[in-house]
Chains A and B, each alone.
Chain A
Amino acid sequence: MRISVRVDGSSYSDDVEPRTLLVHYLREQLGKVGTVVGCDTSNCGACTVLLDGRSVKSCNVLAVQADGHEVTTVEGLADGDELHPVQRAFHECHALQCGYCTPGMIMQTIDLLSENPDPSEEAIRHGLEGNLCRCTGYHNIVKAVQMAAGSGSSTQVGSAS
């Protein structure tokens, strides 16, 4: 099937097998390998991207479902050398170690903060429940989200650039 998708500000047009998952389309056809796969069951959230500005697990979306839509990945957040506030907060708070869950965590954080710009610790913890991290014990991820909330990260990132 032929699909047209806008990803991180560029337009792509490709033939895909109907069974192709969005994450495999991003990684294997577009070379957008910043988005990663961590499980087979939609539990880990490592593959989280924004679809029209809302977070989705891209292993749980077919590439054909993204036809005509806009996808933002972790690769589309920074403006040149200028990091997105959530990226900056993750760096500042040491909210990553191996970094494998980080793309998904950052994308989910952006969604969380756009829903609730001033979340409590409990709201942060529940908002990130669908994203697994094995390194940090979540402690510093929670701190990073709090820092990002304070720095006005709920600015639009999923909209057309």
Chain B
Amino acid sequence: MTVTEQGKEIGAARRRKEDRRLITGQTRWTDNITLPGMLHAAMVRSPFAHARITSIDTEQAKDAANVVAVLTGAEVADDQGTMITAWPITPEQNTPNHPPIAVDEVAFAGEVVAVVVARSAAEARDAAELVEVEYDELPAVLDLKEAVTDDELAHSDLGTNKSAFWQLDSGSAGTGRPIDEVIAEARADGIVLEREYRQQRLIPSFMEPRSAVCDPTGEQITLWSSTQIPHICRFALAATTGVPESKIRVIAPDVGGGFGGKLQIIPEEWIVFCVARRVGRPLKWTETRSESLVSGHHGRDQWQKLTLAATKDGKVTGLKVDLTCDLGAYAGIVGGGVPVLGAWMFNAIYKWDAYQINISNYYTNKTWVDAYRGAGRPEATYAIERLMDELAVEVGADPLEIRERSWITHEEFPFTTVAGMTYDSGNYEAATARAKELFGYDELRAEQQKRRESNEPVQLGIGVSTFTEMCGLAPSRVLGQLNYAAGGWDHAEIRMLATGKVEVVTGTSPHGQGHETAWSQIVADRLGVPFEDVEVLHGDTQIAHRGMDTYGSRSLVVGAEAVVRAADKVIENAKVVAAHMLEASEADLEFSAGRFSVKGTDKGLSIQEVALAAFTGHNLFDDAEPKIDASAAFDPDNFSFPHGTHLCAMEVDTETGATTMRKYVAVDDIGTIINPMIVEGQVHGGLVQGIAQALWEEAVYDDAGTLVTGSFVDYTLPTAADTISFETDHTTSPSTYTILGTKGVGEAGTIASTPAVVNAIVDAVRHLGVNDIRMPCTPERVFRAIQSAGGGASSTAQPHFNADADNQDSLPPEGEAR
């Protein structure tokens, strides 16, 4: 039986169940956990980017008061396990060994070389200072383009810095024409644009620092960790340490944000697991923010060489992409697969004849790089949406019109793209029309024109981003074809308790997304039970024994689909019991709003009454199983493809390079919406992370390979004072691949916003001769771009510098300057 009608919960802006514990401080962050006899670990980290460890003297540290153990990599080499990647993107990928504690060689500044265990965290940290490590420094590979040459090696024993090469080519795949042909045609009689863009290195910067607690006592070893992926962590611990999987329990309690940064198995988890077992006592490690920034994985870090081919009137015919990607020192759990996730997104919402992407991944002696919100897709979207604006300029057309000439129209869905993906649904025209209306597009264009004509020092730019993304990682068969080591299914279980309460166990592992609320809404509608009576359990491998965790906007479109299927099985199980109790045939029963009723009569039973009957077992049919609980696993057939149109207005002070966001409109189509309040929150947060890439954030290393942006003083996260309030709205094209019609929203804002902002800044100063500014577009970079383009206001006398106007001594209005 399938109940397809939507009830009153789906679509309601339910306030979150999660909030109460979070706003009253009744939370269970990993660092809050204290166990009897618990010890504390502090890591000793390499100050060098690349070095051989020649000796480690731990005697002085061992003698310090309240120090219980000091261990080096050599001392735990046999039982510490190893860090693994789940995604060698080709069978030939070069993957360096990655021991949790370095044994012979360190490959980035911040890598762990020893661990100190003491009775308090402060004593452990004090004693870590007493560990004497001697290094032989080796040449460090720091620049990605230099890594390509192999002149110096990031790993002495790997023989090359190259990790792998991966290609998607429409000509050979049969999904389109050969790219070289299409580019040649455009060179002869069309438009060819060649650009190189830089995706700077970012740091995810979740607010809760990572933490792990291991209790080795008892029969199962329990590891609490601030992770997005407790199930993957458990599997990898078992696979690499030899401890049976059945002896390991991993718990992700309250987790304070992740954004991909906690989609990782981390050396410190492995160290805590190993060392707790060594000392036979519970052990906790919590990182400092500096440790987090220097050793937690980073994101992005690509060079993108792009060749776009188009007809003279601006219809795109093809794109060739050469990506050079920095993996940092090691291949992380997704690792080299991150740029591959972008491979299907460069063609975005457009219809082309040909497409080719060549991905080359390299190792350097910097912090490892892995998934950060969007993972591959923001990079791709940035490249194509910047190029579409460049094409509009080349043709002399409006940037929205130029997109419309190439985009898939709403009648054409389902549509198989030049990259071979089949998009199920969408309506780019509708989202764009709505965005233009909310934005006041024509009025702002008119204002821009006026400012240009009067040569005002503060110019206005309008940036466009019409994006799509692929969500819902992922169909297991597709992952298998891509050489990914695991599946992409998820799992759910629904337990109908005797007291009428409902426990929903999900294999996804939320860390701020509000699954407890949204899953409750879904189940309340599906089973016809009160929202308040649904309890959502997650993040503990002993409770949610099967699952693939939370990342890649997958929880709703994969995890919640499993919940729906489990609920439908519960109804099927209950129906058999209800038929017996009501002395009716199953065919005569209807299920609606939580109640089984006999057609044409007023006889009926609620599903909770059936649950109680199954619990007592007093009146069941012969050989009946006394339960109606059910579980289900769901493996999607395809990804889902949310899309949207984002419009951004930026003011740029051409005399100082300062930029101010004036307006931002986001119209997203994410299919069916379960909770519009949660969706808006996801969009807002995503927007600011994408805007931050455009304007403020960059991980910077010095010539020695030290992370200069190693604290929040230097890694500049946006504050409330840097940002504005947004206008958001939605169009709805339900997914045809899911029962609920949902598409996923976790990454949309981040994917869309970065090119919208940069397009707006470039648009504001385009008439001064600027066609690119490297991210982050700091005032200095904007100023230099204007100056080097020769159109800067300072090349002539400042036009407003007269007795009647403001001059440089006037204060700007409060709050205008950043």
Q: Report A's interface with B, CB cutoff 8 A.
A: 17, 19, 24, 27-28, 31-41, 43-44, 46, 73-75, 77-78, 83, 87, 90-92, 94, 96-103, 106, 121-122, 124-126, 128-142
Contact of A100 with B24 at beta-carbon distance under 8 Å, contacts A37-B209, A91-B16, A122-B815 already known: no
Beyond known contacts A99-B22, A135-B207: 16 more, CB 8 A cutoff = A33-B31, A40-B290, A43-B712, A43-B713, A75-B25, A75-B26, A90-B23, A94-B680, A98-B206, A99-B19, A126-B720, A126-B721, A131-B719, A134-B689, A137-B685, A138-B718
Can you list 5 A-B pairs, Cβ within 8 angstroms, ordered by A?
Answer: A74-B25, A87-B23, A98-B512, A134-B257, A134-B685
A134 lies within 8 A of B25 (CB): no
Contact of A131 with B720 at beta-carbon distance under 8 Å, contacts A39-B289, A91-B15, A94-B15 already known: yes
Q: B255 on the interface (CB 8 Å rule)?
A: yes
Pick the contact of A43 from B32, B254, B259, B711 — CB < 8 Å? Answer: B711
DSSP majority for the B interface? loop
Least CB distance from A103 to B in Å reads 6
**Residues in A whose Cβ lies below 8 Å from that of B256:** 36, 98-100
**Residues in B whose Cβ lies below 8 Å from that of A74:** 23-25
**Residues in B whose Cβ lies below 8 Å from that of A35:** 25
Pick the contact of B255 from A98, A133, A139 — CB < 8 Å? Answer: A98
**Residues in A whose Cβ lies below 8 Å from that of B514:** 97
Q: Report B's interface with A, CB cutoff 8 A.
A: 15-16, 18-27, 29, 31-32, 34, 120, 122, 205-209, 254-257, 259, 288-290, 511-514, 677-678, 680-682, 684-689, 711-713, 717-721, 723, 725-726, 749, 814-815
Count A/B pairs, Cβ under 8 Å: 178
Q: Nearest CB to that of A104 among chain B residues?
A: B207
A137 lies within 8 A of B257 (CB): no
B511 lies within 8 A of A94 (CB): no
Q: Which residue among B24, B120, B718, B814 has the maximum number of chain A CB atoms within 10 Å of its CB? A: B24
**Residues in A whose Cβ lies below 8 Å from that of B32:** 27, 33
**Residues in A whose Cβ lies below 8 Å from that of B24:** 34, 74-75, 77-78, 83, 87
Least CB distance from B732 to A in Å reads 20
Q: Which residue among A35, A39, A136 has the maximum number of chain B CB atoms within 10 Å of its CB? A: A39
**Residues in B whose Cβ lies below 8 Å from that of A128:** 719-721
Measured CA separation A94–B677 after assembly (Å): 7
Pick the contact of A121 from B21, B290, B725 — CB < 8 Å? Answer: B725
Contact of A97 with B25 at beta-carbon distance under 8 Å, contacts A125-B720, A132-B712, A136-B684 already known: no
Measured CA separation A100–B30 after assembly (Å): 12
Measured CA separation A140–B677 after assembly (Å): 10
Measured CA separation A33–B682 after assembly (Å): 27
Least CB distance from B160 to A in Å reads 36
**Residues in B whose Cβ lies below 8 Å from that of A133:** 207, 720
**Residues in B whose Cβ lies below 8 Å from that of A33:** 25, 27, 29, 31-32
Pick the contact of B720 from A34, A75, A94, A138 — CB < 8 Å? Answer: A138
A99 lies within 8 A of B18 (CB): yes
